[in-house]
Structure 1
Amino acid sequence: MLKRLLSYLYPIKIYSQKSDLSKSVEVTWANGDLVIDSLNTNYSYGSLQRILKLGLKNIGFAKIKKMESVLVLGVAGGSVIKTLIDDIGFSGKITGVEIDSEIVEIANRYFKLDKIPQLEIVIDDAFEFVLKTKDKYDLIIIDIFQDTKMPNFLFETFFIDRICFLLKSKGSILFNTMILNEADNLRNQKLISTFRKGNFLIKSIPRVEKHNELIVIEKLL
């Protein structure tokens, strides 16, 4: 409790670990909340939770609450899962895919993800998972970073087509991206232009927390 109170004055690191995949990972009390940070960015809770919550609000809390299944690609500490359950009251099944088992261990230890009965965590590469799964989902959340970098496969046509195939009719995709330079900006513009040709509604929420751009996609049929 003392550390939590002092964190309103200055951040207090309570845990740090070197991860082969995520490099440096820290758990810190900041402004009264526990957050997970990588070397250069917030990984879970803190600003990231605010970013994804804004995207979910854009889709509509009431709409999400009625859904049956959610796929989260990139779990980290599970902040978006906590938002789904605590803020929205989502009671359906949540499947979380996370490649870094060490991050999941931290999330279980500090944020009790393993105590959420409707959550299934799969330790796997997101690309491999979407190739193998036979399930379809009402909402797919893509939040995959290695520090400030996003894997190239996230923007490849094959991956995007597969994600859309896994989406149920009237379902939604929430894609959290980071724009650090003009190349990243052009990358996002290209992605958005591909959806304008198909059976989708797409919109972007630019410059959330300075560098993040949220892309929201709705499948019409």
Structure 2
Amino acid sequence: MLRKLLSYIIPIKIYKTNSALSKTIEVTWANGELVLDSENTNYSYGSLQRILRKGLKHFGFEKIAKMNNALVLGVAGGSVIKTLVDEIHFEGRITGVDIDPDIIKIANEYFNLNKIKNLNIVIDDAFEFVLKTKDRYDLIIVDIFQDTKMPNFLFEKFFVNRICFLLKSKGIILFNTMCLTPSDNVRNYDFIKEFNDQGYKIQSIPRVEIHNELIIIEKLD
């Protein structure tokens, strides 16, 4: 409790480790809450939770709560999953996919992710998972970073077509991107401009928490 109170004055680091995939991972008390950070950016809770919460609010919590099957690609500490369960009261099935077993261990130990009954965690590469899964989803959240970098495959047409294929009727994709350089802005602009599937609607919410842009894809039928 003392560390929590002191964290309103100064961040207090309580755990730090190295991961082959995520490099440095830190758990810190900041402004009265536990957050998970990589070397250069927030991975879960804190600003990242606010970013994805804003995307979910765009559709309305009531609409999200009525969905049955959600897929989260990129779990980290599981802050968006906690938003789904604790704030939206989502009672459907949640599948969380993360490539890094070390970060899931931390999520379980410090953020009690393993106590969420309707959550199934899969340790796998997101690209490989979406190729293999036979399920269909009402909501797909893409939140994949390696520190401040985003894997190139996320913006490739094959991957985008595949996750669109996995959507149920009226399904939603919430894609969190980071824009740190002019080339990142161009990448997102081109991605949105070149998306031309008539069965879907694409839009963006730019400059969320300064450096993030949410790209939203909705299946129209």
TM-score interval, normalised by the smaller of the two chains? over 0.9
Q: 1:59, 1:216 within 8 Å by CA — same for their partners in 2?
A: no
Deviations 1:59-117 (A, max 9, x none): 22111000000000000000000000111010000000000000000000001111111
CA distance in 2, matches of 1:113, 1:87: 15
CA distance in 2, matches of 1:101, 1:178: 23
Q: Please name the residue that 2:181 is paired with.
A: 181
CA distance in 2, matches of 1:198, 1:211: 29
Q: Please name the residue that 1:30 is paired with.
A: 30
1:16 matched to 2:16: yes
CA distance in 2, matches of 1:96, 1:59: 21
Question: Any idea what SS the aligned residue of 1:62 has?
Answer: helix
Deviation at 1:193, TM superposition (A): 1.7
Paired AA for residue 103 in structure 1: I
Q: 1:18, 1:24 within 8 Å by CA — same for their partners in 2?
A: yes
Deviation at 1:194, TM superposition (A): 2.8
Q: 1:36, 1:77 within 8 Å by CA — same for their partners in 2?
A: yes
CA distance in 2, matches of 1:193, 1:123: 33
1:213 matched to 2:213: yes
Q: 1:142, 1:174 within 8 Å by CA — same for their partners in 2?
A: yes
- State the TM-score, normalized to the length of structure 2: 0.99
Greater Cα shift, 150-159 or 190-199: 190-199
Q: Please name the residue that 2:194 is paired with.
A: 194
Q: Please name the residue that 1:81 is paired with.
A: 81
1:51 matched to 2:47: no
Greater Cα shift, 196-205 or 151-160: 196-205
Paired AA for residue 60 in structure 1: G
CA distance in 1, matches of 2:113, 2:164: 27
Deviation at 1:198, TM superposition (A): 2.4
CA distance in 1, matches of 2:148, 2:159: 20
Q: Please name the residue that 2:108 is paired with.
A: 108
Aligned pairs for 1:113-152 within 5 A: 113-152=113-152
Deviation at 1:197, TM superposition (A): 4.2
- State the TM-score, normalized to the length of structure 1: 0.99
1:65 matched to 2:60: no
CA distance in 1, matches of 2:134, 2:194: 25
Question: Any idea what SS the aligned residue of 2:134 has?
Answer: coil
Unaligned 5+ segments in structure 2 are: none
Count residues with an aligned counterpart: 221
Q: Please name the residue that 2:39 is paired with.
A: 39
Deviation at 1:171, TM superposition (A): 0.3
Paired AA for residue 31 in structure 1: N
Question: Any idea what SS the aligned residue of 2:205 has?
Answer: strand
User: RMSD value over aligned CA atoms?
Assistant: 0.7
Question: Any idea what SS the aligned residue of 1:21 has?
Answer: coil
CA distance in 1, matches of 2:77, 2:107: 5
Question: Any idea what SS the aligned residue of 2:14 has?
Answer: strand
CA distance in 2, matches of 1:65, 1:132: 26
Q: Please name the residue that 1:158 is paired with.
A: 158
Paired AA for residue 25 in structure 1: I
CA distance in 2, matches of 1:129, 1:86: 26
What percent of counterpart residues are identical?
Answer: 71
CA distance in 2, matches of 1:70, 1:35: 23
